[in-house]
Structure 1
């Protein structure tokens, strides 16, 4: 449902932003799993880039990059640091990080 709402705002939203919002709002993932994955990625210097996570319809690659965990973490950070208004602005202009933040 969240992806439908996001796509009403901008149908060209990157996969990581779509999935990150959906996962964050649904709260259907185990937070310990997310934290463990991100800590492991940081410790082993294998954190995916935004480009890595923008896989379009290729969910297999998104999953391979631990996309759900990282996308959740990115969206959670945006909301906690900047608020929902900035998240909404990012949905409208997902390639305008500097202008949005």
Structure 2
């Protein structure tokens, strides 16, 4: 019985150590910049990175808020970590260090943005790409505040579209056009591997160009069905999008 209790205690300690970084997002010694729309926390010694993030996301928050007709009842909190390892453990805990991909530079937890510093040395990324990803996560947060049940496909489509992460031409030659069921996908890994970010961008682009942004916004809010917004069924909209893909991509 004593051995069992010791094992249980050790497992409990391991679980606590694994989980603490997920719960406590703020590093010791982090500094803070207050804004009208965002509050940025950044690691000690990363003043330049913190200022870059604040300047760009404070302006982006206002711009995106206007686009999504969102009134800020509270500021968006942004945590900026000076390296990828500190960011990784905030998402899934210490175990993440063994499996986290190199490309992982930002995320959101509900209404909070997590990102690596634009001053960090990240393979395959620079200040521009890191800040583009940060803007993407900012859109996710505002989407979440508007509609926490927004589909993964639409959420990412709006985030990529408003952060101007446009896909390269002819990308559909290398990624099979997804079925209509893909619009309701919930698996992040399958979504990314199937070119979900590119396809979701083009879906929002298509809707905006053909039906206008007000219709896209109605879709984001999630209070109406496709036929109520577009006067067409979801299948009809999907068919039009596929035709658009083949014509322009």
Question: What TM-score do you get using the length of structure 2 for normalisation?
Answer: 0.34
Question: 1:9 offset after TM fit, Å?
Answer: 1.6
Question: 1:68 offset after TM fit, Å?
Answer: 0.7
Report the counterpart of residue 23 of structure 1 in structure 2.
160
User: What is the alpha-carbon root mean square deviation over aligned residues?
Assistant: 2.2
Structure 1, unaligned runs of 5 or more: none
Of residues 204, 214, 226, the one that matches 1:85 is 214
Question: 1:24 offset after TM fit, Å?
Answer: 0.7
Deviates more, 1:65-74 or 1:47-56: 47-56
Which structure's relative contact order is higher, taking Cα pairs within 8 Å and 6+ residues apart? 1
User: Cα gap change, 1:77/1:94 in structure 2, threshold over 3 Å: closer, same or farther?
Assistant: farther
The secondary structure found in structure 1 opposite 2:170 is helix
Report the counterpart of residue 36 of structure 1 in structure 2.
170
Residue 48 in structure 1 maps to residue 182 in structure 2: no
CA contact (8 A) 1:90 1:100 kept: yes
Question: What TM-score do you get using the length of structure 1 for normalisation?
Answer: 0.78
CA contact (8 A) 2:140 2:156 kept: yes
Report the counterpart of residue 60 of structure 1 in structure 2.
189
Q: Deviations over 1:40-81 (max 9, x none)?
A: 27xx9x31134224332x221001221011100000011111
Corresponding residue pairs, total = 93
Structure with more helix by fraction: 1
Structure with more strand by fraction: 2
Q: Deviations over 1:7-64 (max 9, x none)?
A: 12211111111111111111134x4x2x3123x27xx9x31134224332x2210012
Q: Which of structures 1 and 2 has the bigger CA Rg?
A: 2
CA distance in structure 1 between the aligned counterparts of 2:146 and 2:211, rounded to whole angstroms? 19
Report the counterpart of residue 229 of structure 2 in structure 1.
100
